[in-house]
Structure 1
Amino acid sequence: MTGQLTAARERVHDVDALRGFALLGIFIVNITFMASGYPGNLVADPAFSSTFDDIARRLSSVLVDMKFYLLFSFLFGYSFTLQMAAADRAGAAFAPRILRRIAGLFALGVLHILFLNGGDILTTYAVICLILFWMRGVSDRTALRVVAAVYGVVLLSMLASGLFMDTAAFLPPEAEALVNAERATQALLGGWGDIIGEHVAGLSLLVIQAVSMQGPTALAMFLLGMVAGRRRLLAQVGGDEAILRRIQWIGFPVGLAGGLIYTFGGGNGQTLAVAASVATAPLLAAAYVATLLRVMHSPRSAYVRAALAPAGRIALTNYLGQSALGLLVFTGIGIGLAGTFSPAATTGLALLIFALQLAASAWWLRRHQYGPAEWLLRWITNARRPAWRKR
């Protein structure tokens, strides 16, 4: 019995560790937008135009961009089934609990947009979770059909747009984009009014992105995660399954090829390049997951799970904390280093901050049941205040 409980805990830790890994990838992308106004305007900062800078940008584009939010979305859907199971164990009605949770997540997202980071995902997740809640009773087959349909519609719309529309006509000329990027960088160096104004000004783009691509693809991953959670796929991993190796053999070549097409085809400024990434990014994300599961279940590298799991267990706190630290490092409210970090330095800082979060998360969870944001969201979800410290 003790061995079974230990195995069950390890498998829950697998989910937490994967979430922690996804959190790192998301931060590597997000910090570039916190550090400068240039990425948001789809141009490179002329101050960092060396070959080394270009290599750093392209490595991130191939290996990281547009991959990790898909993994995070999949895990959100998987955790949705855990929320349902928790409500059942507590003998509580699921609907009011999850609707309160969605409302709390949306409110946190609005505050996050206004005060910390305009590139928020929480509000999108909250809205899409309403659809997931509505579809919670569908069969696995229906859910998978919807996944295929949603992803197919997104890809077809991108292909049609790329082939039959001049997407460049909707973008400002490079000279204008550079001016806009410099202005955005200077706004980051201002006070609260400048920063909030910049975040509010970006809301229309955030909504367009959420409606056209990020929302639908997140919904597809939510549903895929829900199906995986129902089947307890991540609770049955031993690390030596042949399917994990097959996922690696397929996912890495196809996913990396799509990443290269995306990167050298023009990135976010070219719809067909984005379509290549959207089509192949799930396979690369799956290959990352398969690799990490194999690593975490190897006796020689099981420490990787122990290191990542605490950060993933309090992922919401860490996600908000990353934005808060970005605000303090880069904006005029804090040190004011916006526009001074090269692409490689920005990635290095993300890795450093994440390493500190790993240590801080483990320390915090030795004394507390939940992270601060998780504690607040749990209070909203259950409509009663949870214990703050471990007993």
Structure 2
Amino acid sequence: MTHAPIAAARRIGAIDALRGLALFGVLAINLESEFRVSIFRQFQTVTPDPGWNGVVNTALMLFVEMKAFALFSFLFGVGLAIQFDRLATSPRRTILLVRRLLVLLLFGLIHLVLIWNGDILTEYALAGFVALPFLFAPSWIVAVAATIALAFYVLQPMLPSAISFPSDYAIYTLVQSANQIYPTGSFLDVLRHRVQELPAILTLHYFVFSRTIGLFLVGILCWRADLFGATAQRHRTLILIVGVAAIAFGLALAPRPHDDPGLGSPIVLAAGYAALVIAAEQTAMGARWLRWAEPVGRMAFTNYIMQSVVLGFIFYGYGFGLFGRLGSVAGLCLVLIIYVAQIVISRLWLARFTHGPIEWLWRALMYGRAPTFRKAGSHPVTARP
């Protein structure tokens, strides 16, 4: 049997909408705490920004930081489960899934080294290899493994670790070096410094790796439970109630925005956000209101990479060199401009093409043949209102 990427008509709106909304949160946090200033500044004790800059920073830390990444991890697990089911009749299923992750790893390493060292794709590819065997396991084993992984993540600060978190002095040195190089350095200067930061950044990935695996497994379980299909339709009121309760509980777990984000609050809040979107997508009005986010989600891979390219040009010395010079309010305005542009571009692109460019390349390398790229009769570039 021939296997190919899923057709647009067969896609699930809730998944694309969730991915598109999560991408906004990823953009906002990446700009706020990893492009605008050093990625390591968040681990320093600093005086809160005054005025509206402080308000915006606090709101992002409370409602968005780590939650968007948790949503992305959950959705990646859902995507793995979808691919696994679609390839159920293929004798090459395991090979294709391994190839899919290897291609993602390649893209992630390129992004990590040449574009931006805050990359999450490399971690997702490696965590995907850990999660892959569980796709063949019964749901109770997946549930036990997810519980263990998430419990380890939450309890990790109290457990002995094989890797030490960077010292206060190391973090101070990294922040000071970033402040000197990123706003004025050439592309090669920035590249050299990004590589020098990698050991410390990989340490950060180590401490969240179990969370990523756990959320992948939760995504697999939710797909098996049909929470994006008939089950969600039958129980949308219950899902809505669970979503509201999860958001309230998640906020209660984190009364102070700058508490350690390594605890459970981001996961609970992300679950609440996901439940609200899934419930909304089960109504005609909710699906219509969320439709604008679906094209962004369908092109999430391309949009994520392009966000890094654009933000690098805005903040680093080989572009406008605004690193360290932009407040949180101005940063949020910039986030809105970039995201709205991605909404428009994604709609226009998908009116003419079947996939985003990087999504198309990912599928071509995975399947070993080029899927259809241009839609039939799509020469006029028009977007459906």
| Pairing 1:377–2:374 present | no
Output the CA distance in 1 between the equivalents of 2:365 and 2:118: 24
The one-character-per-residue Cα deviations of 1:128-167 (angstroms, maximum 9, x if unpaired) are 11111122211111111111111112222213579xxx98
In the alignment, which of 343, 346, 349 is matched to residue 334 of structure 2? Answer: 349
Q: 1:81 matched to which residue of 2?
A: 81
Aligned residue type for 1:220:
G
Output the CA distance in 2 between the equivalents of 1:317 and 1:141: 35
TM-score, normalised to structure 2, is: 0.87
| Pairing 1:171–2:168 present | yes
The secondary structure found in structure 1 opposite 2:88 is helix
1:35-50 matched pairs, under 5 angstroms: 35-42=35-42, 43=44, 49-50=49-50
Q: 1:119 matched to which residue of 2?
A: 118
| Pairing 1:219–2:204 present | no
Residues 11 and 234, structure 1, Cα contact 8 Å, conserved in 2 = no
Assess, with a 3 A threshold, how the Cα gap between structure 1 residues 320 and 45 changes in structure 2: closer, same or farther.
farther
Q: 1:199 matched to which residue of 2?
A: 194
| Pairing 1:323–2:323 present | no
Residues 379 and 385, structure 1, Cα contact 8 Å, conserved in 2 = yes
1:1-391 matched pairs, under 5 angstroms: 12-42=12-42, 43=44, 49-88=49-88, 91=90, 93-160=92-159, 170-172=167-169, 177=172, 180-189=174-183, 190-213=185-208, 215-236=209-230, 237-238=232-233, 241-261=236-256, 263-265=257-259, 273-275=260-262, 278-391=263-376
Shift of 1:224: 0.8
Output the CA distance in 2 between the equivalents of 1:241 and 1:10: 21
- Taking only the aligned residue pairs, the percentage that are identical comes to 24
Shift of 1:245: 2.8
The secondary structure found in structure 2 opposite 1:238 is helix
Shift of 1:367: 0.8
TM-score, normalised to structure 1, is: 0.85
Aligned residue type for 2:15:
V
Output the CA distance in 2 between the equivalents of 1:381 and 1:296: 30
The secondary structure found in structure 2 opposite 1:274 is coil
Residues 253 and 264, structure 2, Cα contact 8 Å, conserved in 1 = yes
Residues 112 and 119, structure 2, Cα contact 8 Å, conserved in 1 = yes
Extract structure 1 runs of 4+ deviating beyond 6 A.
none
Assess, with a 3 A threshold, how the Cα gap between structure 1 residues 34 and 191 changes in structure 2: closer, same or farther.
farther
Q: 1:5 matched to which residue of 2?
A: none
Question: Bigger CA drift: 294-303 or 195-204?
Answer: 294-303
The one-character-per-residue Cα deviations of 1:110-145 (angstroms, maximum 9, x if unpaired) are 111112211010000001111111222111111111
Shift of 1:195: 1.3
Residues 192 and 333, structure 1, Cα contact 8 Å, conserved in 2 = yes
Shift of 1:373: 0.6
Unaligned regions of 5+ residues in structure 1, if any? 1-7, 266-272
Output the CA distance in 1 between the equivalents of 2:323 and 2:50: 19
Question: Bigger CA drift: 238-247 or 373-382?
Answer: 238-247
Shift of 1:81: 1.7
Residues 17 and 305, structure 1, Cα contact 8 Å, conserved in 2 = yes
Assess, with a 3 A threshold, how the Cα gap between structure 1 residues 44 and 186 changes in structure 2: closer, same or farther.
farther
Residues 33 and 39, structure 1, Cα contact 8 Å, conserved in 2 = yes
Unaligned regions of 5+ residues in structure 2, if any? 1-7, 377-385
Residues 22 and 69, structure 1, Cα contact 8 Å, conserved in 2 = yes
Residues 239 and 298, structure 1, Cα contact 8 Å, conserved in 2 = no
**Aligned-residue CA RMSD in angstroms?**
2.6
The secondary structure found in structure 2 opposite 1:172 is helix
Q: Which has the higher helix share?
A: 1
Shift of 1:45: 7.8
Residues 113 and 120, structure 1, Cα contact 8 Å, conserved in 2 = yes
The one-character-per-residue Cα deviations of 1:220-279 (angstroms, maximum 9, x if unpaired) are 011111111122211223397232232134212211123334x244xxxxxxx234xx31
The one-character-per-residue Cα deviations of 1:281-328 (angstroms, maximum 9, x if unpaired) are 222112112222344444444333210011111110000011011012
Assess, with a 3 A threshold, how the Cα gap between structure 1 residues 287 and 366 changes in structure 2: closer, same or farther.
same
